[in-house]
């Protein structure tokens, strides 16, 4: 049987909702032993959010929850008790990676910041994925994906010129941030293999989402003006649009990306 690339790697996973669990699902799909840690007093909100299947209610039947938490083990621990905190530390001592997507200082307030984790296991890799990072005046800002893409500036670019922003239906950050996070974790694992040293990865979801703006960032950096909405046109296509033709309400759509 083919050995998966992350077999033998254990992840103590404090992530919840979508962006964090989608990150650790990728690790689990590649063979990592991911142990999802929740509190019985406050389970992962995504368990009970949105459309539920018919029949008796259950915290285990939500489709989105099961999609982003496949291939994981799960445990509930009350980290606010001395016994629970001790149990978590014992689990971390047997883990390679610790992940969370709480606000920037939540793990520190539990006594589970990176420096404490290094004392427990010197080569530990810690990934924290707050909305605004772990430093600065917005360290306690929390948000769902809708808020993250708003902070990043995506919403102002959606819609047609002269009209209000229309927002975005898919939550881009929830499904793009995980790939930034996994890439950083792979680099950290490689570095640990070479040097024996762990890593602290501070991955702000807002910053990763800004990276998705592409040429909009370049335009703002060069001109000082925010591009704003431009309808259905791609900025790297020219010509690109729906153009009127002769006759009554007749149009042609043209999308040209290269000179060829």
Q: At a CB cut-off of 8 Å and minimum separation 6, what does 249 contact?
A: none
Rounded to whole angstroms, the Cα distance separating 201 from 129 reads 8
Q: Using DSSP bridges, classify how beta strands 199-202 and 240-244 pair: parallel, antiparallel or unpaired.
A: unpaired
Map tokens 């005046």 to a residue: 137
Q: At a CB cut-off of 8 Å and minimum separation 6, what does 91 contact?
A: 12, 35, 37
* Chain-centre distance for alpha carbon 116: 24
Catalytic amino acids? 174
Q: In what order do the strands lie in the sheet with 199-202?
A: 73-76, 33-38, 10-13, 97-100, 125-128, 199-202
Rounded to whole angstroms, the Cα distance separating 31 from 224 reads 46
DSSP letters for 190-222: HHHHHH---EEEE--HHHHHHGGGTHHHHHHHH
Q: At a CB cut-off of 8 Å and minimum separation 6, what does 153 contact?
A: 210, 213, 216, 226
């Amino acid at each position: 049987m083919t050995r998966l690339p992350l077999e033998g790697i254990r992840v103590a996973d404090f992530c919840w909702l979508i962006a964090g669990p989608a990150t650790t699902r990728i690790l689990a799909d590649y063979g990592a032993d991911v142990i999802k840690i929740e509190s019985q007093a406050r389970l992962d909100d995504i368990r009970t959010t949105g459309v539920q299947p018919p029949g008796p209610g259950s915290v285990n039947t939500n489709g989105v929850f099961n999609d982003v938490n496949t291939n994981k083990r799960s445990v509930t621990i009350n980290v606010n008790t001395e016994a629970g905190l001790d149990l978590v530390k014992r689990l971390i001592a047997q883990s390679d990676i610790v992940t969370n997507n709480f606000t920037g200082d939540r793990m520190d307030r539990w006594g589970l910041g990176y420096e404490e984790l290094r004392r427990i296991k010197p080569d530990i890799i810690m990934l924290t994925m707050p909305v605004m990072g772990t430093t600065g005046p917005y360290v306690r800002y929390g948000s769902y994906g809708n808020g993250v893409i708003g902070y990043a500036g995506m919403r102002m670019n959606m819609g047609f010129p002269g009209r209000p922003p229309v927002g975005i239906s898919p939550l881009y950050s929830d499904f793009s941030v995980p790939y930034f996070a996994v890439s950083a974790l792979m680099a950290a694992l490689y570095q640990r293999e070479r040097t024996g040293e762990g890593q602290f990865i501070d991955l702000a979801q807002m910053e990763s989402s800004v990276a998705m703006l592409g040429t909009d960032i370049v335009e703002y950096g060069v001109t000082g003006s925010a591009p704003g909405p431009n309808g259905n046109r791609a900025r790297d296509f020219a010509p690109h649009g729906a153009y009127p033709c002769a006759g009554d309400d007749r149009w042609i759509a043209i999308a040209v990306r290269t000179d060829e």
